[in-house]
Structure 1
Amino acid sequence: MSTALFLSSAEIAELARPEEYVDPVRAGYRERGHGAPAEPRTTLFSDAPAGMLTGYLAILPETGAMGGYTYAAGFEDRDAHFALPLFDADSGAPLALLDGASMNPHKTGAAGAVGVDALAPVDASDLAVIGSGTQARGQLRATATVREFDRVEVYSPTQSHRQAFAAEMNEELDATVAAVASSAAAVEGADVVITATNADEPVFDGEMLDPGTHVTAMGQYHPGKRELDTTTIERATYVPDLRARVTQDAGSFIHAVEEGVVDEDHVHAELGEVLVGDAPGRESPDDITVFDSGGTAIETVAAGKMLYDRAVEAGVGEEIDFAPASEAMDR
């Protein structure tokens, strides 16, 4: 009989601060750059009741873990539930089962921050955030640890939401965080732009991007999700988290291909390839760069292993039994 550690959402929330996700996620993407296996999401849709079931996988040998993220969203419950099974990368034995909802904005924010650190100008001081929800908070908290921003402009369609976001983040960050009345006002003059939305149409005009701007888009996880316009894709050095998902669910890139603006050769490199030096990131101060962060098991497994290690050290979690197949099937 094998044992694994079950970690509840509440326990996970106490194990690490948002900024502590960045280093393990960076290490995970470096492993990917050295050839660690990872696959993009598989998504199954249901019409009655409406919902989707999604999962993706990765093996990180140096981290010592493998696993994936599975979540159900919608259906009759009209909610989302996240599960992260984690296995030892050498033995294959189960390590943990994580109730993965509370870690989601932090691991996703960390991936965005790693992209900013690899691709954005080193002296970036002005940040635009499009979106004011949980994911936007996760992106901002993590990104603020890799660049010293003086000013952050946030826009989302609901005035009260963007104002509440600005007030909350002003209390947390050294930068001045201001709510603005349009995405154009946020993007104008920005060194870094983060989009954290569920938009079906572009959230800003790519012509507004100054030379040298970096864009991180994290709402690109479905062919119909399209935060960035074709102009932004065309102008940019385009770096996804996983090359294999670009034509599968990276909505803005898919649309740009369909419009004939770019083809698959426009993909510059995966993030991991940039991190290990197999491909350059920013080659010129005037380069416009895009990190398309649609979500992978790379950041999920890397973050999950960090949380598991901390839980073991702190004596947190509940041990649960797993029967190996050699025992369970021999009955």
Structure 2
Amino acid sequence: MTLFLTSEEVSGLATPTEYVEAVRRGYRERGEGAPAEPRERFMREEPAGMLTSYGALLPETGAMGGYIYAAGFGSEDAWFVTPIFDADSGEPLALLDGASMNPYKTGAAGAVGVDALAREDARTVAVIGSGAQARGQLRATATVRDLETVRVFSPTVENREAFASEFDDSLSADVRAVESAAAATEGADIVITATTASEPVVESADLAAGAHVTAMGQYHPDKRELDADTIARATYVPDLRKRVTEDAGSFIAAMEAGAVNEADVHAELGDVVAGEAPGRTDDEGLTVFDSGGTGIETVAAGAMLYERAREEGLGTEIPFAPASEALTGR
């Protein structure tokens, strides 16, 4: 029997710390050789929409699966489905409505990047963006560094002020809204970009020496949140190396500008987490984690949520017929 979990059941089932721990383990497995592939997208013009999927197999976690979601089309909405299979038997363990876990598992990937690449004494954070993904990134980042100051910018005054008010109440840090991206990033130890922008929202000149940047808002070859100078300055670490020439828009634009080439990719995040490649090597350098979304954090988080649900007696069991029965009628 396979466990089906609704978005409501998934919501609140695990803490940000638990998401980060599960996702860190998943990236360590990736660094040790676990297979994972970047997203594939199928586009339709009328009605306009996108069908996306990606997957990973995590042997130590004991799970495999991924994400498949539809966005746009006639409903002009998005629907996230997460299947989780047993990595040993191949049997389907769970089917999750993946919407409510999305900012948590993506935020956890960003936090693993922060923990691997930011300075140990990083205390000041700039957040560019104020939506659900920006919230997820900040919640998770606060579990890996003792934050003192957070500055948030988004173009809509009401949104950035609401974000600041929410986190000023929930975090021990001083959280305030500012009037520009430059004001947010000035002197920041950690910079998080979580936007839908097509052009850079952060300029290299505004980034302090020793800063770390988590860029997670774009995964399109023609869209970018960071300028070419930032990519050229940085120790550049993507979630998956194969993404770099497929949909890592900031890196692709920097290559087209002649600022970098593929040899300038330092390592995948999993390589750093597993100790196969160094992370930050000095206090003055700039580091960038380019997070486009992978099956690694999805499977790691989904497997963790499945275990929590079993412990708490949540979910509905649904039958799946094995092919040996369904195809033969036996």
- Shared fold (TM-score greater than 0.5)? yes
- Say whether 1:5 aligns with 2:6: no
Deviations 1:111-157 (A, max 9, x none): 00000000001001110000000000000000011001110000000
CA deviation after TM superposition for structure 1 residue 220, in Å: 2.6
The whole-number CA distance in structure 1 between the counterparts of 2:264 and 2:82 is: 33
Q: Distance in 2 between matches of 1:262 and 1:255?
A: 9
Contact in 2 for aligned 1:220/1:292 (Cα 8 Å): no
Q: 1:300 aligned to 2:294?
A: no
Distance 2:326 2:57 in 1: 25
Deviation track 1:280-327 (CA, whole Å, cap 9, x = no partner) reads: 110111110000011000000000000000111111100001000111
Distance in structure 2 (CA, Å) of the matches to 1:5 and 1:126: 41
Q: Secondary structure at the match of 1:181?
A: coil
- Are 1:111 and 2:109 matched, yes or no? yes
Identity %: 68
Distance 1:174 1:284 in 2: 28
Please tell me the residue identity of whatever aligns with 1:98. Answer: L
Partner of 1:290: 288
Which residue of structure 1 lines up, in the alignment, with residue 313 of structure 2? 315
Residue of structure 2 in register with 1:15 after alignment: 13
Residue 223 of structure 1: aligned partner: 221
Amino acid at match of 2:69: Y
The alignment's TM-score, normalised by the length of structure 1, stands at: 0.98
CA distance in 2, matches of 1:141, 1:19: 9
Give the whole-Å Cα distance in 2 for the aligned partners of 1:187 and 1:147. Answer: 17
Query: Contact between 1:219 and 1:225, CA under 8 Å: does it hold in 2?
Result: no
Unaligned runs of 5+ in 2: none
Matches within 5 A, 1:186-265: 186-265=184-263
1:15 is paired with a residue of what secondary structure?
Answer: coil
C-alpha displacement at 1:188, in angstroms?
0.5
2:16·2:143 contact (CA, 8 Å) conserved in 1? no
- Look up the SS of the partner of 1:129 in the other structure: strand
Gaps of 5+ in 1: none
TM-superposed CA distance for 1:52, in Å, is 0.3
Rounded to whole Å, the distance in 1 between the matches of 2:218 and 2:247 is 7
SS in structure 1 at match of 2:106:
helix
Give deviations 1:95-125, integer Å, cap 9, x for gaps. Answer: 0000000000000000000000000010011
Residues in 2 aligned to 1:257 and 1:278: alpha-carbon distance in whole angstroms: 25
**Counterpart residue identity of residue 66, structure 1:** M
CA distance in 1, matches of 2:54, 2:172: 36
Match of 1:174 in 2: 172
CA distance in 1, matches of 2:84, 2:143: 27
| Conserved? CA contact 1:19–1:141, under 8 Å | no
Q: Which moved more, 1:153-162 or 1:204-213?
A: 204-213
TM superposition shift of 1:225: 2.2
Answer whether contact 1:12 1:103 (CA < 8 A) is retained.
yes
Secondary structure of the corresponding residue to residue 35 of structure 1 = coil
Give 1:122's aligned amino acid: E
CA RMSD of aligned residues (A): 0.7
4+ long deviations beyond 4 Å: none
Once the 2 structures are TM-superposed, how far is the Cα of residue 19 of structure 1 from its aligned partner?
2.8
1-structure distance, mates of 2:82, 2:122? 35
Q: State whether residues 72 and 80 of structure 1, in contact with CA within 8 Å, keep that contact through their aligned partners in structure 2.
A: yes
Q: 1:86, 1:149 → 2: CA distance?
A: 34
Deviation for aligned residue 1:14: 3.0
Deviation per CA, 1:248-290: give whole Å up to 9, x if none: 0111001111111110011000001011111111011111000
Q: What's the secondary structure of 1:114's corresponding residue?
A: helix
- 2: distance between equivalents of 1:90 and 1:6? 20
Distance 2:92 2:44 in 1: 30
C-alpha deviation, 1:85, in angstroms: 0.5
The TM-score normalised by the length of structure 2 is 0.99
Measure how far apart 1:18 and its partner are.
Answer: 2.6
Can you list the C-alpha shifts for 1:45-65, whole angstroms capped at 9, x where unaligned? 110000100000100000000
Give the AA of the match of 1:186: A
